[in-house]
Amino acid sequence: MKTGLTSVTFREKSVEEIIALAKEATLDGIEWGGDVHCPAGEIDTAKQIQRLCQEAQLEILSYGSYYKGQEGEDFLPVLQTAVALNAPVIRIWAGRMSPETITEEYFEMLVKNIQNACDAARKENIVLGLEYHRRSMTQTKEGAMKLIQAVDRENLKTYWQPNPEVTFDEHLQEIKTIADHLIAMHVFNWDEANTSYLLEEREGVKKWKKYVACARGFGIDLPLILEFVKEDQTESFLSDAASLQTVLRKPVAVFLGDPSEIKRVYSPDTIRRLQTQLDLSNEVITRDEIGHRLDLLNRCEYLFSTWGFPNLDKETIRQIFVNLEAVFYAAGSVRKFATPYLDLGIQVFSAWTENAIPVAQSAVAQILLSNKGFFQLSRIDSKAEYALRKNQIEDFPGNKDVKVGILGAGSIGRRVLSALKEQGITTLVYDPYVSDDVLRCLDAKRSDLQEIFATCQTISNHLPDLPSTVGILNYALFQSMKSNATFINTGRGAQVVEEDLVRSLQEEPGRIAILDVTSPEPPSDDSPFYTMKNVILTPHSAGSSGHEVRRMGETMSVEFEHRLLGEKTSNEVTMAMLGTMA
């Protein structure tokens, strides 16, 4: 983004003084105002200004006219002056009536006159930009869009500046609404009483960082033009010009972890999106390289990673990541590494909710098939067995008037319950932590393990990996299952006493176990799971795989943007959550 000064900031200074100030502040260019320094119709003055700027190697960012699109105004002198200046943009006003007070007749006149001005400017390859100002149609984002859409010209854009009468959140909404038409921003720091402050005062820099980040999120590259400065003083202007460089500086971020995993999870599009907001290289720093990249890591404010993120102790994190604010982990569980970061006040974000999607999809598909006996009925290796299986079809309830047990109502379990609710399936839930309100919304009944295993056709495990859940699923439960029931495990293998599961399956071959996780993983060489006909073993494939993993990188990119703008985030992990997360 380019930086500039609008000359109306110092109406009492000469053209030469304005140019000297812009050079001293190392700005890129100037917007020349049409009231004092470059009046409309004074072609020789415009040509002189253009020559002086060229000699000073300053761009002419725009011509700040006071054309308002009102009846009787002549746009031609404005256009001729802009051409003499070699200005790519002419700033115009959106009338002098607000959206609340404008009449239909005035609006039609305004639209017609701006259309004519746009058509004339287009012949000179000049864009018109609406001043975003109170007591005009751009007093509100709705008014601005109404006018832009009514004029319907490709070379009509709009400026933006913060209206001190509305909230910061509304400022962001304005930028988002007009983003496709935004061409420049006027930069200043006013309070509600229209008192001017330095950008470094009253969180001005902080707010403008967010305004700029919001624009960058739409891929917008536009000039930031300093306008009003505190007490109209040169010193204030120079201070604000320095602050503007701070506003434009992108935070430093690093990819840390396994290069192959990061390449798999963060697509090129996601990396480019992150780089619009961050000083972020494509390079991935591995654990072994941490000690050799201290200069970069000391400056790093954000870490992005996924599977393969190194576990570091608190003291190492404290010494190396002295400016770190947050970790964005594009994968599921963070329990193995998050505690020291959280202890140090560093935020941790995880894509656990996105990683839950494919697991839940797999579980739902398997549950629906299990209720119809798919896995038992598909074991056919002869014509006689075909006939046998056909006679067993009615032994299975199908997906109506059937009970399904869900163990764990966390992120995955809730997605499963929501999908089964849509199917009209009765669900029993074992989860000591889930609230009654959540279960009520999911049409699910709270239950205990004994009732679930004894009465449900299909049981699907999604319990978190906690010390209290190790070995919780034992023979007493498995042996109580129906003779043709199915047990699905996409949770954790350690929750199952595997020899108990094997025994119950051997005692009743009509039961099926679908195991995506085991303990150990993979099973030992002599595990019966490899040879048992009523065990379906998959290699931990329910989680994100293939292109699905990119969803997690995309989620962390969006989550970062929300945090950057001060908006609500959805995937932050707190210390309290670690005790119950998978």
Greatest distance between any 2 Cα atoms in the chain: 102
Strand order in the sheet with 302-305: 279-285, 252-256, 302-305, 326-329, 347-350, 572-573
Q: What is the pLDDT along the chain (582 residues), one digit of tens a residue?
A: 999 999 999 999 999 999 999 999 999 999 999 999 999 999 999 999 999 999 999 999 999 999 999 999 999 999 999 999 999 999 999 999 999 999 999 999 999 999 999 999 999 999 999 999 999 999 999 999 999 999 999 999 999 999 999 999 999 999 999 999 999 999 999 999 999 999 999 999 999 999 999 999 999 999 999 999 999 999 999 999 999 999 999 999 999 999 999 999 999 999 999 999 999 999 999 999 999 999 999 999 999 999 999 999 999 999 999 999 999 999 988 989 999 999 999 999 999 889 889 999 999 999 999 999 999 999 899 999 999 999 999 999 999 999 999 999 998 999 999 999 999 999 999 999 999 999 999 999 999 999 999 999 999 999 988 899 999 999 999 999 999 999 999 999 999 999 999 999 999 999 999 999 999 999 999 999 999 999 999 999 998 999 999 999 999 999 999 999 999 999 999 998 887 766
CATH class of 3-248: alpha beta
Q: What is the pLDDT of residue 347?
A: 98
- Can you say how many angstroms the Cα of residue 27 is from the centroid of all Cα atoms in its chain? 32
DSSP H helical segments within 470-522, as ranges? 475-478, 498-507
pTM (two decimals): 0.85
3-248 shares its CATH topology with 354-537: no
Q: Under CATH, which number does the domain 252-352+550-578 receive?
A: 3.40.50.720
Report the distance separating Cα 582 and Cα 575, nearest Å: 14
In Å, how far are 169, 419, 554, 563 from 566, measured between CA atoms?
9, 33, 19, 5
Q: Are 25 and 238 in contact (CB under 8 A)?
A: yes
The residue among 33, 37, 29, 32 whose CA lies nearest residue 4 is: 29
**In CATH, what is the architecture of 354-537?**
3-Layer(aba) Sandwich (3.40)
Q: What is the pLDDT of residue 582?
A: 63
Q: What is the pLDDT of residue 379?
A: 86
Write down the domain spans for the chain: 3-248, 252-352+550-578, 354-537
The residue among 252, 360, 345, 367 whose CA lies nearest residue 304 is: 252
Structure tokens at 300: 């790093």
